[in-house]
Amino acid sequence: MSTAIVRIVSELRSIVAAWRREGLKIAVVPTMGALHEGHLSLVRAALAKADRVIVTLFVNPRQFNNADDLAAYPRTEHDDAAKLASAGAHILYAPDAADIYPQGFGTTVAVGGVSEGLCGTFRPGHFDGVATVVTKLLLQTGADLAFFGEKDFQQLHVVRQLVRDLDIPIEIIAGPTVREADGLAMSSRNARLSLAERNRAPRLAEILVQTAERLSSGQLIKRVLSEAQEAILAAGFSKVEYLELRADSDLASIVRLDRPARLLVAAWLGQTRLIDNLQVALPRPEVVHQAAA
Ligand code: PAF
């Protein structure tokens, strides 16, 4: 099957309107391209739940708070289109920046609460850029379902919140983080790692797994997190921006593991910023009892 490439929103809207007349269910998978297995797993999940799947490809300048990072972002539309055709996506919607942000564009969608802290602290304006473009893409595609990866866990919360707050009639569905065989979370940024860095990178996920196990066994959160931070630096990472335990449901800070939780990390390996996260199992009842004793 070939995937149609659409660049103009009016063309996209007329295709979607025809699908609607046929009563088809439509899904969208927003991406910035440089597609890997993580994205393709979302496309497959979308195909399983919808009759038509639109993948958006737009490297959104408003979510980069660093011009070099934007310039270095991989642009591989030709390969992306081939991967989407094999996966069976129906449309690749790849608009130009001037169409997404035409002259005089003056609106910013700023989501409060869940966009604060974590990446929100270290990438000022990032989530405003994400929220603004995601709002546009959801409205432009008019899809019934939208798929986002758990790898960007805070982003997932930001999107859920904006859809709720703005009454956008779409269901947000999360896909699990897809990992390389050695545990490294798949990311378009992994391609920037040198060979030596790539060999070290999986330590981040290993440390998250060990830390989650220690937390679930009832060990003291503060001590476990500080030792994990030291372990990340000892593994060759140059800086840990954050390593935090947050509530899974709303990203609230937590000091006790008394509800479903998530460990979230951002750390630099050379010139590359990696993020990852992991669900933390609640302690077994006897462990809670022990920790309280
Ligand atoms: O996760 C991404 O690739 C981007 O942040 C998104 C959701 C496509 C918005 O530009």
183: in domain: no
Cβ of residue 35 lying under 6 Å from some atom of ligand 1: no
199: in domain: yes
- 91 and 208 share one domain: no
Q: Which residues of the chain have pLDDT under 50?
A: 290, 292-293
Name the β-bridge partners of 284: none
Cβ of residue 188 lying under 6 Å from some atom of ligand 1: no
Please, what's the largest Cα pairwise distance for the chain?
Answer: 65
- Give pLDDT, residue 285: 77
- 25 and 114 share one domain: yes
**List of residues 6+ apart from 102 with CB closer than 8 A:** none
Distance between Cα 123 and ligand 1 center (Å): 14
Domain span holding position 198: 188-292
Based on the residue annotation, tell me whether 39 is a catalytic residue of this protein: yes
- Give pLDDT, residue 51: 98
- Give pLDDT, residue 288: 60
- 219 and 103 share one domain: no
Instruction: Tell which one of 29, 42, 60, 75 to mutate to probe ligand 1, the residue whose CB is within 8 A of the most ligand atoms.
Output: 60
- The pTM score is 0.96
- Give pLDDT, residue 259: 95
CA–CA gap between residue 26 and residue 53 (Å, rounded): 6
Rg of the chain over Cα atoms, rounded to whole angstroms, equals: 20
**List of residues 6+ apart from 87 with CB closer than 8 A:** 40, 43, 44, 47
What residue's CA is closest to ligand 1, atom 3?
A: 31
- Give pLDDT, residue 156: 98
- 90 and 235 share one domain: no
Q: Which entry of 36, 39, 90, 157 is annotated as an active-site residue?
A: 39
- 195 and 125 share one domain: no
First to last CA, the chain: 62
Q: Which two tokens stand for residue 8?
A: 């103009």
Name the one residue in this structure whose structure tokens are 């009454």.
167
Q: Which two tokens stand for residue 285?
A: 């009842």
140: in domain: yes
Domain boundary among 147, 175, 203: 175
Please write the tens of the pLDDT for every residue from 252-284. Answer: 999 999 999 999 999 999 999 999 999 999 987
- Give pLDDT, residue 293: 42
- Give pLDDT, residue 1: 72
- 171 and 195 share one domain: no
CB 177 within 8 A of CB 185: yes
